[in-house]
Each structure stands twice: as C-alpha cells, then as structure tokens.
C-alpha cells in the first residue's frame, strides 16, 4: 500500500525506492539498481549505522574519489581488496577444464611495450637474480599454438615496476612482447621479482591497516596471451615460496598458477644455458581456451 503511494517507511524502504525506477528505459540498469538497492538497504538494516558512522562511510568514498587521477585509480584498488575484482574476473572467465586460469590485470600494464626476439633479456639494468622463463602455449588438446602474442611484465628485485621508478629504472625495464613460432614455445630472461605492496598511501591502504591486513602481493610475473581464434588470457605466474602466497592483498593467487622458481647451480649447465653463474629456472605452459559458440 505504502509502496504504491510512494511514501517511505523503514519496513518497505527498498521496495519504495525500487518501484520509483519503474520507468527506467534501460532494463539492465533497472535490474542492477534494484539488486543494489535491495542489498544496500539490507546491509544498512543489519548494521544500523549511527549518523556519524554513515557520514564516515561517505567521507571514505569521498577521499577515495579524491585520490583518483590519470595514474591512480583508488576505486579499482578498493574493488581489488574487497575481492570484487577477482569475482568479476571469475564470472567473466569461466574456463573449460585444462585451460589456464585468469587473474587480475593490475594497474601496471603498459600497452606499447617493445616486441622482442624470443630469448631476449627483459631486464635492462642487470639488477637482480637472473631467471630463465620458458614454456609452451597450447590448446586444450595439447597442440602448440603458433603466432601467439605473449605480453609479459614484472616487478624488479626490489618490488617496483619501471613505471613506479621513472628515472631510476630504464623505460620498459622488465617488459616485453614475444611471439611463438610453430612449436608454440616461448623463452626469455628476467630476474626474480619481489613481493610488493599495492599502493597503500590512500584511503584503501588506511582501511587495510584498520582491518589488520597487510598490503602485499606475493612475487609474480604478469602475462597477457592472445592468439587468433582463442580467448585472451590475462594471468600471472606466482612464486609458491613467497611469504605472502597465502595472503595476497587482492586475492589473485590460484593454485594452478604457481610454479617453482627452480635454482640451477650446476655451472656447466648454467653456461650451456647462456648464464655466467647460477640462475633460476621457471617452466610454465599456458593453455588457451576457444570462445564458446
């Protein structure tokens, strides 16, 4: 009755608001706003915030907005630490069995990284523990995929991306694009990445601290793999021995994306592989799915 008249009551609060949107032209928007309104009112009814608490929530969102600029997207960080980025990723990237799993893109991808010859060293400042990274790009039947584009980027041995240290690291340090040949294999050289904090000097970092959470992501390499006729794969390889492997601040770790950074200490073997001393070996195959028909 009250809903029909459009008057607000505590008991009918969500339905009063939702019914006001009856003439929305976009059905999807109408549906989304109905769900959000219902869940938000439900949360407010469960929490019963004081007016002061509600104002603090408003100020948190205001500060989050103020922190955003062309380089910094604090709302994405908020979505990341709430696990929502990973949930949206999971919903939109359900894979057939055997296909490699996806994970978050993150804010440090650079669109125009240089295309490099297979085997190139992406570490341009010779800093860090040398690493060989190799594997194959396969389809779900185990066949190699030729002509796959592999876009890779990683943090350095101190946990910084080149774009966070302009003038300290060379431009495009620890980034590269490679293309597979007929056998679907890839290999390049990098250095062992280190764990690092997500940007935590804003409201999201403050929230994490208040929740007793650290801001760290375990060491990883980022990949975007694309091949004609296959789904684009945005993913990482994680170091299973990293101290933060079970507590990634953004929930990006998946069991299937961990691969041992294997130390190679046999100097003869190292020399044959083109290294002057011991190195780490990382072997990881990626399996691409085909778009659903």
- DSSP for 192-248 reads ----EEPP-SSHHHHHHHHTT---EE--EEEEEEE-TTS--EEEEEE-TT-TTTT--
Of the candidate spans 46-54, 100-108, 135-143, 167-175, the one that interacts with ligand BEZ by CB under 6 A turns out to be: 100-108
- Chain residues that interact with Fe ion, rule: CB under 5 A: 106
Among 86, 233, 250, 259, binds ligand BEZ (CB under 6 A): 250
Please report whether residue 203 would count as binding ligand BEZ according to CB under 6 A. no
Task: Kindly list the distances between the CA atom of residue 184 and the CA atoms of 35, 52, 145, in Å, as whole numbers in the listed order.
Answer: 45, 59, 5
Among 64, 106, 128, 216, binds ligand BEZ (CB under 6 A): 106
Give the nearest distance from C-beta 195 to Fe ion in angstroms.
10
List beta partners, residue 153.
Answer: 175, 222
Residue 250 interacts with which of ligand BEZ, Fe ion, none, CB < 5 to 8 Å by class: ligand BEZ
**CA-based end-to-end distance of the chain:** 47
CB burial of residue 179 (10 Å; 0-12, 13-18, 19+):
middle
Residue 107 interacts with which of ligand BEZ, Fe ion, none, CB < 5 to 8 Å by class: ligand BEZ
Among 131, 154, 217, 238, binds ligand BEZ (CB under 6 A): 217
Please report whether residue 104 would count as binding ligand BEZ according to CB under 6 A. yes
Question: By the criterion CB under 6 A, which residues form the site for ligand BEZ?
Answer: 80, 104, 106-108, 198, 217, 250
């Amino acid at each position: 009755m009250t809903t029909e008249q459009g008057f607000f009551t505590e008991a009918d609060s969500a339905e009063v608001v939702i019914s006001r949107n009856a003439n929305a032209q976009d059905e999807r928007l109408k549906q989304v706003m109905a769900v959000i309104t219902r869940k938000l009112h439900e949360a407010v009814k469960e929490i019963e915030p004081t007016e002061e608490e509600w104002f603090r929530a408003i100020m948190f969102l205001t500060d989050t907005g103020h922190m955003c600029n062309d380089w910094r997207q604090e709302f994405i960080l908020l979505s990341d630490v709430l696990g929502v980025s990973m949930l949206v990723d999971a919903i939109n990237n359900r894979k057939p069995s055997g296909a490699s799993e996806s994970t978050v893109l993150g804010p440090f991808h650079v669109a125009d990284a240089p295309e490099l010859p297979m085997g190139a060293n992406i570490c341009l400042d010779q800093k860090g523990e040398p690493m060989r990274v190799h594997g194959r790009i396969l389809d779900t039947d185990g066949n190699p995929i030729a002509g796959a584009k592999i876009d890779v980027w990683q943090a350095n041995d101190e946990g910084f991306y080149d774009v966070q240290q302009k003038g300290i690291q060379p431009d495009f340090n620890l980034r590269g694009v490679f293309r597979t040949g007929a056998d679907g294999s890839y290999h390049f050289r990098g250095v062992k990445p280190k764990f690092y904090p997500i940007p935590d000097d804003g409201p999201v970092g403050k929230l994490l601290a208040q929740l007793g959470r650290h801001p760290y992501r375990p060491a990883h390499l980022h990949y975007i793999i694309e091949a004609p006729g296959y789904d684009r794969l945005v993913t990482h390889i994680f170091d299973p021995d990293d101290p933060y492997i079970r507590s990634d601040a953004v929930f990006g770790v998946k069991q299937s994306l961990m691969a041992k950074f294997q130390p190679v200490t046999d100097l003869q073997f190292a020399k044959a592989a083109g290294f002057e001393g011991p190195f780490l070996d990382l072997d990881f195959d990626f399996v691409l799915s085909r778009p659903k028909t």
